[in-house]
Amino acid sequence: MKFIQSVRVRLTLWYIFILGCTLTLFSMLVYYQMSRSLYKSVDHKILTISEVIASSLSPHSNSVFSDIERDLAKKVGRQPTAKFIQLLDRSGNIGGKSLNLRNKRLPVSYKALQNAAKGVITYETKEVFGEPLRIITYPVKRKGTGIHSIVQVATSLSGVKETLTQLLFILFSIVPLALIIASIGGIFLANKVLKPINEINRITREITSKNLELRVPKPATHDELSQLVETINGMIQRLEESFKQIQQFTADASHELKTPLTILKGEAELALRKERPPEEYRAYLRSSLEEINRMTRLVQDLLVLSRADTGRLALHREPINLATLINSCFDQCRFLVEDRDVQLTYHCQADAWVIGDKYRLKQMLFNLVENAIKYSKQKGKVVISTAQNGKFVNLLVKDEGVGIDSKDIPYIFDRFYRVDKSRSREAGGTGLGLSICKWIAEAHGGRITVQSTPGLGSCFTVWLPKSQAPSNVAEGGKGDEV
């Protein structure tokens, strides 16, 4: 069974099967056409002889049969050989026959006599004198008298049978030989075709998580194998990038968790070294609580991204008016500016409707607003607004903060990426907020972009597909500032 399971063997067997069927069909057609052609040639010859004999007979012919043979030799050009000729009257009685019949006679069937009486020519094949004969029964007509006589001409089919037998022998010899040659050629071609696949199989077996930089050599040809190699190399490239991301993500997460744990451990050890006043213990506990809150938020963000990557984070979609969403988020963001000299305002269009998950969109907006406030300058301004842009509704969060350098913009949505100085850990973030914002925007069929000028501020724009407002909802815009 393992032998049959080989692709090489299956290809060869299918090749031989299809070729065998083709050659068999071809042989049958050749044999049929040759047989038909030979029989037609025989029928044509005996018909010609019958017509010549019929034209040589007079209505009251008393000539001996030798005269007919001489007349036939004159008209045909030679003495007919291996031809048996027999003359009959309308009743089937023999009136004459060729010399080679002597004391023999050609059989005449009742059907042939019936057809002759109607003026119809009959062809028959019968075993006579120990050999197959092709016999024509040809009625001779005379004007006014109807059927005058009947001419029978017969010729041996031994030559035809022998020719057809030789043809069968040739065909039965050539077809197996052709299949044997084809099987050898099929194995050769299968080996040639599968050789690159075997090489691909060998190389891919060597690729593990430790050497994902390996690639399958691309063949010089531009065929299906070349496309297969490109697909495999593309898959390996994606796997390599995924492994690097996982390794980087694991290292960054470990680093982010290690810092607060180290602080907690150090403060606990310091607090336990000696007896301290209650105020010092409370200070240690407040510091520990800050680190615990930081770790809690980090773990929550990691959990969100992990579920998003595995597709287990479902969205509860419903019609949402961004004006209402911004108003709700605005009220919750008021406490962020209580200890900072930053002005927070928003301006929304009344018909900014989208289909989405209210909780996730609010989470995205809160992250963007929190970042904008956190990195704004003193007496700066943060503005939330919406705008129509073709098939999209734009949600904009603009600040007058320190801005982002152009070399950092392509990476700010990467996990745990922090812009130097202005995006340090001391600001209190986990480095995952913008990654979560990007996932939420893309999960809603949109995207998020940023424009920034160092020293002047940044503007984050979320593109969300536009939706129609529900007919039973009264629309209204709202604007406010703090």
Q: What Rg do the C-alpha atoms of the chain give, in angstroms?
A: 51
Average pLDDT of the segment spanning 347-369: 87
pTM of this structure = 0.54
Mapped onto helix, strand or coil, the DSSP state of residue 62 is coil
Percent with pLDDT over 90 in the chain: 16
Q: Per the structure block, which two tokens stand in for 423?
A: 């995006």
| Positive/negative CA dihedral, 6, 10, 16, 17 | positive
- Report for 128-132, 153-157, 267-271: range of highest mean pLDDT: 153-157
The answer to whether the beta carbons of residues 42 and 163 sit under 8 Å apart is no
Domain ranges for the chain: 2-163, 224-310, 317-481
- Report for 16-25, 49-58, 73-82: range of highest mean pLDDT: 16-25
Rounded to 10°, the helix 158-206/224-272 angle is 20
Question: Which numeric CATH code is attached to 2-163?
Answer: 3.30.450.20
150-159, 259-268, 355-364: least confident range: 259-268
Question: Which numeric CATH code is attached to 317-481?
Answer: 3.30.565.10
How would residue 65 be classed by pLDDT, with cut points 50, 70 and 90?
Answer: low
Mapped onto helix, strand or coil, the DSSP state of residue 395 is strand
Average pLDDT of the segment spanning 15-33: 91
Task: Write down the pLDDT at residue 379.
Answer: 81
413: left (phi over 0), alpha (psi -120 to 50) or beta: alpha
Mean pLDDT of the chain: 81
How would residue 32 be classed by pLDDT, with cut points 50, 70 and 90?
Answer: very high
End-to-end CA distance of the chain: 80
Quick check: 395 pLDDT over 80? yes
Q: How far is Cα 445 from Cα 437, in angstroms, rounded to an integer?
A: 13
Question: Tokens 């773990």 correspond to what residue?
Answer: 299
How far is CA 313 from each of CA 304, 307, 310, 357, rounded to the nearest angstrom? 7, 5, 8, 11
How would residue 458 be classed by pLDDT, with cut points 50, 70 and 90?
Answer: very high
The type of residue at 149 is S
Task: Write down the pLDDT at residue 279.
Answer: 84
Q: H helices of 311-357, where?
A: 322-333
Mapped onto helix, strand or coil, the DSSP state of residue 135 is strand
Task: Write down the pLDDT at residue 398.
Answer: 92
Task: Write down the pLDDT at residue 420.
Answer: 53
How would residue 72 be classed by pLDDT, with cut points 50, 70 and 90?
Answer: low
- Report for 26-40, 83-97, 376-390: range of highest mean pLDDT: 26-40
Quick check: 38 pLDDT over 90? yes
Mapped onto helix, strand or coil, the DSSP state of residue 318 is strand
Quick check: 477 pLDDT over 50? no
Look at strands 392-398 and 457-465 and give their pairing. Answer: antiparallel
Which among 364, 391, 374 is positioned nearest to 460, based on CA atoms?
Answer: 364
How far is CA 383 from each of CA 41, 260, 321, 398, 402, rounded to the nearest angstrom? 103, 33, 18, 5, 15
Task: Write down the pLDDT at residue 140.
Answer: 86
Average pLDDT of the segment spanning 217-238: 83
Q: Which residues of 157-166 are buried (b: 16+ CB within 10 A; e: fewer)?
A: beebeeebee
Out of 1.10.287.130, 1.50.10.100, 3.40.50.2300, 3.40.630.10, select the CATH number for domain 224-310.
1.10.287.130
